[in-house]
Chain A
Amino acid sequence: MKKKVGVYICHCGGNISDYVDVEKVRQSVESINGVYLAKTTMFACADSNQKDMVEDIREQNLDGVVVAACSPKLHLLTFRAVVERAGMNKYNFVHANIREQVSWAHSDNKTGATEKAIQIVKAAIAKVQNSEALEPVKVQATKAVAVIGAGVAGMRAAIELAEAGSEVYLIERSFFVGGRIAQWDNICGTEETGKELVTRLYDEVIKHKHVTLFTGAEVIENRGSVGNFMLKVKVTPRYFKLPCSDGKLQEAIDVCPVIVPDEFNFNITSRKAIYHNYPSEYPQLPAIDMENCTRCGKCENVCSSIDFTQKTEYLNLKVGSVLLATGYDPYEPKKGEFAYGEIDHVVTLPQFKRIVHYCDEKLSYKGKDIKHIAYIYCVGSRQVDGENKYCSRYCCTVNIHTAITVKKKYKNIYNYHFNRGIRTYGKQEVWYDESSRLGDIYLQSFDNDPPVVEKRGDKILVKIKDVLTTDKQLEVVADLVVLVTGMVPRKDNSIGNLLKIPKGRDNFFNEIHMKLRPVETVIDGVTIAGASQGPKNVMESVNSALAAATKSFSLVDSGELALEPTVAEVDEQTCEWCGKCDEACPFNAFEKVEIEGKLIARVNPVVCKGCGMCLPVCPVNALNLIGLTDKDVENMISALIPND
């Protein structure tokens, strides 16, 4: 039992003290046996209070500390660091949450909130009185990072990590690098095309001796954790070997009898089973798509570079950190959504950008000349009825920029923007301004009354009730309707599932804290970058990629990592392996081992997160959580029940 516990109760500048009588809380706990001092403070986390705490601990020789403040998610680490600076073992600190769990939850009942806060602080004191000094689990970190996804964010992160001095494995699932950016022509803000940007980054990736690029590669297994992720990577062969002469290659493509929709062009064109997305694409070696190849052998007859003997390879990589830059999928409208899939000349923005790419002199699609273009915004974003409540952020600007490009590239183009309030934030406003000056027409619909696309004869009509002209019902005859589709999370979440990355309510990967730790995830050692975390434009993706690279690098660069010792432990005497703990564990932290002829469970303390899922399922009570024992919980419950 500790004799000299210090208790600090935070006002949080009113966040707590507006609803909880913090002075009353202080008075209620100051005379508890073992509490040596109890203070209130305006901001427990402020530097001045941190200094006071350090002084108190040192001068009064405190042996335990409780801070009653915000959620431990925010400041557990802050206060652990404070007590550590004062020379105390950080596991003799207990954090009591009286903000998220009390003042914010019970702002309607001050008396009740104060009583609840008192109980919670009492429970925390009961816990700290039996707390033990613990030492962190030490792990040697591998100085290597796996970057998943070789789009603009992934490539940029890989270059930065290598420059900083880490070994980098850049793992791309498709056969070519560049991700979505390779599919765009000129990018707004610069004169550079997506392909040029990809080329520039690819050149740097390739020349860097510390980056190893794998294409056609997928992580299929992980048996490790922070500091030492053991990734199993499946590399699908492209069935091509160097050298590959251009002439023969084209011949091989020509003879291939298989024709499939070309995803690179969002299915507006088709490709062969032997393919590259565009001639200068990287790596400059085509691939054979075995899902569609009929193995007819015609290509092999004309091109000696084709090698059907290549086998799928499996690699094992050991890395200290994983950086996810897996990007997004463009929203795919449902059949009938604004007549998509029902009227031929209704396309999505990504498709439209590819159409513009292929039309040089004049804009035409499916045999029809295009002059009048209707753009319908927020398709798949800001849905009133659907699940996507979020704004996709990039689409307003990119669409307006595309509309300007079209107007400048071809003659007699008329642009009609059916929007829901244009969001060209920041400097992007200049594109909105330019398009307005070029004579583009903006029509704004009411949120719950979207425009309607219908066919009348051979004409496409777009009808809208327009906010800007006071509710007037307007009609535009359009040659082409472009659905300005937003970003959605990747449909295939296999890597997210594999690494157990949580998702936000928008279903993109979730960061720990938007402002404090925007590129880190709750899975230690896994960082997130680019649009995998939420819609972003190129600059924003790169900023987040560089920020994530910094975090991943500082992790692997530190050499030795100190991990939480608050993990499960097995009582070897009691355990009779039944496997229930292993089934319950979300992190695969258990293994079955044989000790003196007896099978028992063993916990890998590096993998275990101390979540406690295994404890209640053990039929013989052989498991214990270090730092939160049954005894601790019983003591806390006793303190929580008010004495009669």
Chain B
Amino acid sequence: MPGQMKILEYDVLVIGGGIAGGESALNLANLGYNVLLVEKELSIGGKMILLSKVFPTLDCGACITTPKISEIARHPNITIFTGAEIRIITKKGEHLFEAIVSQNPRYVNIDDCTGCQLCEEACPVSVIDEYQYGLVGRKAAYIPFSIASPRAAAIDIENCTLCGACERVCPTQCIDFTQTVEEFLVKVKSVVVATGFELFDPLKIPRYGYDKFKNVTTAMHMERQLSPTRPFNSILRPGDGKLPDNIAYVLCAGSRDKSVGNPICSQVCCMYSIKQAQLLMGALPMADVTIYYLHIRAFGKGFNEFYAQSQDMGVEFIKGKIGKITEKENGNLILRYEDIEKGKVTEAEHDMVVLSIGLLPNQGISDVFDNETLQLDPFHFVDQSDILASPAKTSIEGVFVAGTASGPMDIPDSILSGGAASAETTSYLRRAAL
């Protein structure tokens, strides 16, 4: 009931606390605007904070993300809601939007939590850790991941048995099971949509055997295994924990494929696969890495040189689309494919297969707009209404888009796009002030 909701006012609502939304929020805050950053996950940082090293410079993702995240978290002009969702946004007039934001209960008072992890040790419930993409387990009382911001515990109430163990050990009494969903009416002058992307679900390509064959994994799983906050401190194949020594990458898994409803190129898979191949050669010096590709899209600054470097390091590139994957008794996998350069259909055996899954739109954002339509493009990304002169503009005046919400892009492009969205927002807000 709106009458009882707490009313909050800001200049800008940024939806999504990934690297693009964060860049927009930070730029706007530095210019003196008050920003509300709403993130549905328990930590800001988006997908980037979970990555290992990033191409083509091989900087570690965490090293680049954490200081930005920390700057955002500390900024006096930025208020952050994590674990929160936008229910509805109504445009009330020029420079006036009203949003209902619901803050889901974390059952932990963030301000008092010291991140000591005693609750985690005490919790008897073990479930799959979604931030490690299911590679390991976590407790029902948990800190999302070691470099999360806020670095505070949360209670996963769906799995919690309400045993009270965490409450008893918490030294600051910050666990509070009485928290409920809290709704806020937020009044803002402008909105930045930075809702990011979703990963393609490899179950949609049954012939690749994901989930059926244990040693068929995705690039995001590999990313977690290679990252500084990795669960195993080594690369293990999922089926039996063996160190793999002959790894295959299958590019365009779910991209450039009309049969799964995604005809476009995901723009980053070639490069992240090449990067992972280079990192694997460091982590497993004896391993062979083969990349099966259609076209290598190494188009950005320093990308083609990075591709050439991987060839020099001994990564094998085979031009061909994988038709089918089958499993041998020992868990190894047989890849059947057309080797285009040799002109024949052939088979190869690998002990681990990584599907280079693509980027899909994070759908649902257009539904929250109440009285105006947030136009989507044919691929369900947010449509850029003036793509040449104002790439951040959307079909709704005063609503701007940043990062992969408008289409697949890499980190440098996302950050530039975040910068563009903040620029457009600034001039829109200036017009409000005049």
Chain A: residues with CB nearer than 8 A to chain B?
12-15, 42-43, 45-48, 50, 70, 74-75, 78, 107, 152, 156, 160, 163-165, 187, 189-190, 192, 197, 200-201, 382, 389-391, 393, 421-430, 433, 467-471, 504-506, 508, 514-516, 518-519, 533-535, 538-540, 542-544, 546-551, 553-554, 557
The answer, yes or no, to whether B173 is at the interface (CB within 8 Å) is no
A196 to B303: give the CA distance in the assembly, Å: 33
Contact with A along B38-73 (1 / 0, CB 8 A): 000000000000000010010110111011111001
> Would you call B423 and A549 a contact (CB within 8 A)?
yes
B67 and A75 contact, CB distance less than 8 A: yes
Known: A13-B227, A546-B392. 6 other contacts (CB 8 A): A152-B389, A429-B263, A539-B391, A542-B391, A546-B420, A547-B416
How many whole Å from B209's CB to the nearest CB in chain A?
Answer: 26
A426 to B379, CA, bound (A): 11
User: Chain B's nearest CB lies how many Å from the CB of A97?
Assistant: 13
Most A CB contacts (10 A, CB to CB) among B229, B299, B412 go to B299
B299 and A467 contact, CB distance less than 8 A: no
Nearest B-chain residue to A155, judged by Cβ: B389
| Distance of A42 Cα from B229 Cα, bound (Å) | 9
Q: Collect the chain A residues with CB atoms within 8 Å of residue B73's CB.
A: 47
B169 contacts which chain A residues (CB < 8 A)?
A: none
Can you report 27 A-B residue pairs in the complex whose CB atoms are below 8 A from each other? A12-B63, A12-B228, A13-B228, A45-B66, A48-B115, A48-B151, A160-B427, A163-B427, A189-B387, A382-B304, A389-B305, A427-B377, A427-B407, A429-B256, A430-B264, A470-B341, A505-B302, A514-B301, A514-B412, A539-B388, A542-B390, A543-B420, A546-B423, A547-B418, A547-B420, A554-B30, A554-B31
Instruction: Determine how close the nearest CB of chain A comes to the CB of B299; give it in whole angstroms.
Output: 4
Report the minimal beta-carbon distance from B434 to chain A, rounded to whole angstroms: 10
Q: Which of B146, B300, B305 contacts A42 (CB 8 A)?
A: B146
Q: Is the CB of A47 within 8 A of B427?
A: no
Contact A426 B387, beta carbon cutoff 8 Å? no
- List chain B residues, Cβ under 8 A from A534: 300-301
With A13-B229, A200-B389, A554-B30 as contacts: A391 and B67 at CB distance below 8 Å = no
User: What are the residues of chain A within 8 A of B263 when measuring CB–CB?
Assistant: 429-430, 433
9-residue interface stretch from B102-110, B127-135, B290-298: B290-298
**Closest partner residue, chain A, to B31 (CB atom):** A554
Complex partner residue of A540 from B59, B149, B413, CB under 8 angstroms: B413
B70-A470 in contact (CB<8A) = no
Q: Does the CB pair A45–B67 fall under 8 Å?
A: yes
Give Cα A78 to B64, complex, Å.
11
Give A470 to B341 CA distance when docked, in angstroms. 5
Most buried by B among A74, A429, A430, A516: A429
Q: Enumerate chain A residues within 8 angstroms of B408, measured Cβ to Cβ.
A: 425-427
Residues of A close to B265: CB separation below 8 A: 424-429
Nearest Cβ in chain B — how far from A58, in angstroms?
16
Given A70-B63, A550-B422, A557-B31, A50–B298 Cβ distance below 8 Å? no
B342 at the interface (CB under 8 A from A): yes
Closest chain B residue to A17, Cβ basis: B228
CA distance A467 to B424 in the complex (A): 46
Judging by beta carbons under 8 Å apart, are A391 and B304 in contact? yes
How many B residues touch the partner, as a band? 35 or more
User: Are B70 and A45 in contact (CB-based, < 8 A)?
Assistant: yes
Contacts of B229 in A (CB 8 A): 13
Check if B151 sits within 8 Å of A550, measured CB to CB: no
Q: Is B419 in contact with chain A by the CB < 8 A criterion?
A: yes
Contacts of A421 in B (CB 8 A): 295-296
Residue among A190, A519, A539, A549 facing the most chain B CB atoms (10 A cut-off):
A539
Closest to B419 in A: A547
Do A423 and B69 touch across chains, with their CB atoms under 8 A apart?
A: no
Give 1 or 0 for each of B214-231: 1 = CB within 8 Å of chain A CB: 000000000000011110
Complex contact A467–B319 (CB within 8 A): yes
B125-161: which have CB < 8 Å to A?
146-147, 149-151
Interchain CB contact under 8 A, A469 and B343: yes
Pair B31/A426 contact, Cβ less than 8 Å: no
Asked if A550 and B27 make an inter-chain contact with CB atoms under 8 angstroms apart, the answer reads yes
- Interface-central residue, A12, A45, A508, by most chain B CB under 10 Å: A45
Please determine whether A550 and B302 come into contact, CB atoms closer than 8 angstroms.
no
By a CB distance below 8 angstroms, the chain B residues around A549 are 423
Max count, chain B CB within 10 A of own CB: residue among A48, A428, A471: A48
CA distance A548 to B416 in the complex (A): 9
Kindly state the separation between the CA atoms of A78 and B295 in the bound complex, as whole angstroms: 40
In the assembled complex, the CB of B53 is this many whole angstroms from the nearest CB of chain A, namely 9
A551 touches B305 (CB 8 A): no
The residue of chain B having its C-beta at the shortest distance from the C-beta of A107 within the complex is B282
Q: Which residues of A contact B413 (CB under 8 A)?
A: 540, 543
B70: shortest Cβ distance to chain A, in Å?
4
Which of chain B's residues have a CB closer than 8 A to the CB of A46? 62, 66, 70, 146-147, 151
Contacts of A506 in B (CB 8 A): 301-302
Q: Is the CB of A514 within 8 A of B341?
A: no
Cβ distance A372 to chain B, nearest Cβ, rounded Å: 25
Q: Is the CB of B54 within 8 A of A515?
A: yes
Q: Report chain A residues within 8 Å CB of B6.
A: none
The answer to whether A192 and B388 touch across the interface, beta carbons within 8 angstroms, is yes
Chain A residues near B286 (CB-CB < 8 A): none
- Is B332 an interface residue when CB atoms closer than 8 A count as contact? no
Complex: chain B residue closest to A467, CB-CB: B341
- Min CB distance, B396 to chain A, in Å? 19
Contacts of A548 in B (CB 8 A): 419
Q: Is the CB of A15 within 8 A of B228?
A: yes
Q: Is B326 among interface residues, defined by CB-CB distance under 8 A?
A: no
The answer to whether the Cβ of B5 comes within 8 Å of any Cβ in the partner chain is no
Judged by a CB distance under 8 angstroms, whether B86 is at the interface is no
Residues from 369 to 427 in B contacting A, C-beta threshold 8 Å? 377, 379, 381, 384, 387-392, 407-409, 411-413, 415-420, 422-424, 426-427
Query: Judging by beta carbons under 8 Å apart, are A165 and B430 in contact?
Result: yes
Q: How distant is the Cα of A75 from the Cα of B67 in the complex, in angstroms?
A: 8
Residues of A close to B30: CB separation below 8 A: 554
Complex contact A425–B299 (CB within 8 A)? yes
Chain A residue contacts of B392, Cβ below 8 A:
543, 546
Which chain B residue lies CB-closest to A468?
Answer: B340
Q: Which 8 A-B pairs have the closest CB atoms?
A: A13-B228, A547-B419, A470-B343, A163-B427, A546-B420, A546-B423, A47-B70, A534-B301
Q: Which residues of A contact B411 (CB under 8 A)?
A: 515
Taking a contact as CB atoms under 8 Å apart, the answer to whether A542 and B389 are in contact is yes
Whole-angstrom CA separation of A469 from B344 in the bound complex: 10
| Cross-interface CB contact of B412 among A43, A190, A518, cutoff 8 Å | A518
C-alpha gap A540/B431 in the complex (Å):
25
Residues of A within 8 A of B59 (CB): 74, 515
**B116 CB to closest chain A CB, in angstroms?**
11
CB < 8 Å: which of B66, B295, B299, B419 contacts A43? B66
- With A70-B63, A542-B420 given, is the CB distance from A504 to B301 under 8 Å? yes
Residue of A nearest to B305 (CB): A389
Does B308 have its Cβ within 8 Å of any Cβ on chain A? Answer: yes
